Amino acid sequence: MTAAGWPEEEADDPPALSGRWRRLLVRVWGRLAAWAGSEGERWVLWLPVSFGAGVSLYFGLRQEPVWWGGLAAVGGAAVLLLAVRRWFALAGAAMALLMAAAGFLVAQAHTVRMAAPVLTRSIAGATVTGRVMAVERRPGAVRITLREATVSRLAPEQTPAALRIRLSDRNPAPAPGSVVRLRAALLPPQAPAEPGAFDFQRRAWFMGLGGTGFATGAVEQVEAPPITGWSTVSIAFERARGAIAERVAAAIGNPVEASVTTALLNGEEFGIPEATLDDFRNSGLAHLLSISGLHVGIAAGILFYVVRALLAAVPYIALRWPIKKIAALFGILSALAYTLLVGAPLPTVRSVLMTGMVMGAIMLDRHPLSMRLVAFAGLVTIAMDPEGMLGPSFQMSFAAVVALIAAFERGSVRLAEWRRDAGWLVRGLFYVGGILLTSVVATLATLPFSLFHFQQIAFYGVLSNLIAIPITSFWVMPWSLIAYALLPFGLEAPALIAMNWGDRAVIWTAEFFGRLPWASLTVPAMPVEGFAALVAGGLWLCIWTRRWRWLGMLPILAGLTSPMLVARPDVLVSGDGAVAAVRLPDGRLSASVKSGGRVTETWRERDGARTAADPWPAAGGWSDGERSLSCDALGCLYRVRGRTLALPRLPDALDEDCGAADAVVTPAVARGCRAGIVVDRWALRHEGAHTLTVTEEGVRVETVRGLRGDRPWTGGR
């Protein structure tokens, strides 16, 4: 074999090549082989990336693959790997292919495992009985999750495994574990508001959630069999979260401050007012409200140092027992307990894996921070919840950690040399600089994901984190651990009050920076292709260590500019036809109704618009030459780039509109309509939400079903 891993016979020069070209090819191949060899320890980091690519491939399909598709892919890749195992380069490519096939298979198996009945139609006035598994306290309402449910108008085999129902807060919320009966209006999980928008149907499928709804009557508690199995543990922690919320509310009078303190203690963000959440988002501090790596790491680290200090204070133990390793074990246990208490969201699970491996490395006398550690944690997390990999929580948490460790690898040695002989003042400056650098790196790393999922950039995130993170690390989290220790004895009030002083400072920081001019910028939705380029470029930049890693900046720049290359649609129609919107000359959307709920809010966010335009007029309209809207009692006509789109309000207008318009959009049934494009009740029911974009060639139509296809969670199979 050659040094590059190819067999000797393949290394021979083809006879057709001249000596000059032969030398050039040998030189180029040798340089590439040298580069590849210099990154030898980093190649393994691409295996979790390949695994995730296989998961993405599965979810990107428009049709569900045959049941044996994943198995066949894994088997074929394994055979290929065995066939080329003697050649290093080919074996590496085959291994990456095998990992991609394994990711595809795991995602497919997870879909089958989570299969459960899902509502396909709305049900009004149903009597629902079920066990309360979760209680979410929200401003003005309570939301409960029911399992073991029965629905009066559904057969057992059609009844979802879990239902989420909204209750009024006028009555006390039912206790977790109790069985309740209520009258409710039930709805299927909501489809995307437009093609490419967040797919709650898919998320609900993997949550085991078969429907949502709201109660239309009082909640009645009924006799129930005892709780058994894992549900006992789950309900116990749910009750603990409720008890913590009540204790915090009793100790802290201000509801806003109490809600933030509760979120940090038990993971419940639902009670925080929307205005406060907006301040945290605009200031770049929203991650402090979501229990993630920062909180788990601080909690485990504090307990690690406290236990180690206490054991070191006893000479007999300190001289005979491995106190550092014992403290690391306590750190692992604290991370596990904290995760269970806050409900084990995906970022926290990732953090527990990371924390467990860091503490495990300490127990094994290994270096605790490495990119391989992150790769292993990512692989395990994706395997546990493949669909969760597509969400912002997983992506943003891993992006921040990968970028921070990559930065640590680049500069840790030099910074350690500078810090070794520094005095206390310089060490303090190093600490401040470390927080600043951490904030900059984490902000830049999570920026692409914030743009893709939320269409938002927080400009003052670095400054706000420079203030809020030290307060959280050195004041809020230590007092939270003290409060945990005192809760069983009912003595937690002083610790909660002290903790709230820090929370108050964090809230003030969020309000100050979140309300400054240009605190945040909203941008149009990024196309999937641009997002994929950003992710690929970021991985290339962080995984490699040589100068060629900077080539990753090219796809990053391409991804960042991609939103400017995609035109937003001129007309949008909701999946039920109840709401439509047209684009104004200033780029904003004007909806057919004054308040379209979450649908119009999603449209506005994906437009990158901060404010909503006035709805369509009852009569009259506007015109700027290229675009015009004219309305009367029967409906509206929208003209753009020489095309006419009819938007009738009443069926009586269909005959005239169908004969004159290029496209007709109506929530009614438009049988026999002669227009070139017809979006009516049947089209909406079959295809979901529609968008219409007028170009020089004509009117381009995109639909939710056309983009995501027919999958188990869409009801198309």
pLDDT tens by residue, 601-614: 999 999 988 788 88
What is residue 346's predicted lDDT score, i.e. its pLDDT?
62
**Residue 544 near residue 551 (C-beta atoms within 8 A):** no
Is 90 exceeded by the pLDDT of residue 109? Answer: yes
Whether 7 is in a domain gets the answer no
Instruction: Examine the domain organization and report whether 185 and 334 are in the same domain.
Output: no
Within 8 A by CB and 6+ apart from 170, the residues are none
Q: Closest Cα partner for 126 from 210, 189, 188, 182?
A: 182
Higher pLDDT residue, 169 or 572? 572
Q: Give the CATH number of the domain where residue 207 resides.
A: 2.40.50
Exposed / middle / buried, residue 114 (Cβ in 10 Å: 0-12, 13-18, 19+): middle
Can you give the pLDDT at residue 416? 65
CA–CA distance, 316 with 199 (Å, rounded to integer): 59
Report d(CA 427, CA 126) in Å as an integer: 65
Query: Which residues are CB-contacts of 139 (< 8 A; sequence separation ≥ 6)?
Result: 271, 273, 274
Decide if pLDDT at 506 tops 70: yes
Structural domain containing residue 360: 244-522
Nearest to 240 by CA among 182, 175, 301: 175
Is residue 130 classed as helix, strand or coil in its secondary structure? strand
Could you report the per-residue pLDDT of 564-577, keeping only the tens digit for each?
Answer: 888 899 999 999 99
User: Which residues are CB-contacts of 548 (< 8 A; sequence separation ≥ 6)?
Assistant: 35
The arithmetic mean of pLDDT across residues 71-87, rounded, is 93
Which of these ranges, 26-40, 441-455, 682-696, has the smallest mean pLDDT?
26-40
pLDDT of residue 29: 67
Closest CA to 133 of 220, 238, 271, 210: 238
Residue 14: what pLDDT? 46
| Residues 541, 505 share a domain | no
pLDDT of amino acid 3: 40
Q: Give the pLDDT band of residue 547 (cuts 50, 70, 90).
A: confident
In which order are the strands placed within the sheet that holds 620-623? 620-623, 627-631, 635-640, 643-648, 663-665, 677-679
Q: Is residue 491 part of a domain?
A: yes
DSSP for 63-90? BPPPTTHHHHHHHHHHHHHHHTTTSHHH
Q: Is the dihedral of CA 652, 658, 661, 666 positive or negative?
A: positive
Q: Assess whether 552 and 620 both reside in one domain.
A: no
Task: State how far the alpha carbon of 313 is from the alpha carbons of 323, 329, 666, in Å.
Answer: 11, 18, 77
Q: Give yes or no: residues 211 and 283 share one domain.
A: no
180-225 confidence digits (pLDDT tens): 999 999 999 999 999 999 999 999 999 999 999 999 988 998 887 7
Same domain, 61 and 202: no
In angstroms, how far is CA 285 from the centroid of its own chain? 16
Give yes or no for residue 412 having a pLDDT over 70.
Answer: no
Same domain, 407 and 272: yes
Q: Which of 289, 312, 381, 301 is nearest to 335 (CA)?
A: 301
Burial of 614 (0-12, 13-18, 19+ CB in 10 A): exposed
| Distance (Å, whole) CA 408 – CA 579 | 50
Residue 13 included in any domain:
no
How high is the pLDDT of residue 422?
67
What does the pLDDT average to over 337-360?
74
Question: What pLDDT, on the 0 to 100 scale, is given for residue 717?
Answer: 37
| Same domain assignment for residues 290 and 314 | yes
Residue 347, pLDDT above cutoff 70 = no
pLDDT band at 6 (very low <50, low <70, confident <90, very high): very low
Whether 2 has a pLDDT exceeding 50, the answer reads no
State how far the Cα of 587 lies from the Cα of 591, in Å rounded to an integer.
Answer: 13
Rounded Cα distance, 380 and 451, in Å: 26
Question: Residue 233: inside a domain, yes or no?
Answer: no
Out of 80, 113, 146, a domain closes at 113
Across 541-558, average pLDDT: 91
The CA distances from residue 449 to 49, 100, 227, in Å, are: 17, 23, 41
More confident residue, 186 or 657: 186
The verdict on 310 and 397 lying in the same domain is yes
Same domain, 73 and 176: no
Does residue 135 have a pLDDT over 80? yes
Instruction: Please give the average per-residue pLDDT across 97-113, as a whole number.
Output: 96
Specify if 21 maps to a domain.
Answer: no
Count up the domains in the chain and report the number.
5
Q: Which of 228-232, 266-270, 320-324, 683-687 has the highest mean pLDDT?
A: 683-687
110 in Cβ contact with 383 (< 8 Å): no
Contact of 283 with 439, CB cutoff 8 Å: no
Q: What average pLDDT does the segment 255-273 reach?
A: 86
SS3 197: coil
Evaluate whether residue 687 is within a structural domain: yes
Whether the pLDDT of residue 11 is over 60: the answer is no
* Token pair recorded at residue 340: 């269970």
Verify that 134 and 202 share a domain, yes or no. yes
Among 522, 553, 587, which residue terminates a domain?
A: 522
pLDDT category at 623 given cuts 50, 70, 90 is confident
User: Mean pLDDT for the chain?
Assistant: 86
pLDDT at 8: 42
Question: Is residue 49 a part of any domain in this protein?
Answer: yes
**Residue 371 shares a structural domain with residue 463:** yes
Cα–Cα distance for residue pair 217/691, rounded to 1 Å: 38
CB 575 within 8 A of CB 704: yes
Does residue 409 have a pLDDT over 50? Answer: yes
Note the pLDDT tens digit of each residue in 64-77: 999 999 999 999 99
pLDDT at 689: 95
- The two structure tokens encoding residue 167: 């209750």
Residue 615 belongs to some domain of the structure: yes
Q: Are 462 and 440 contained in the same domain?
A: yes
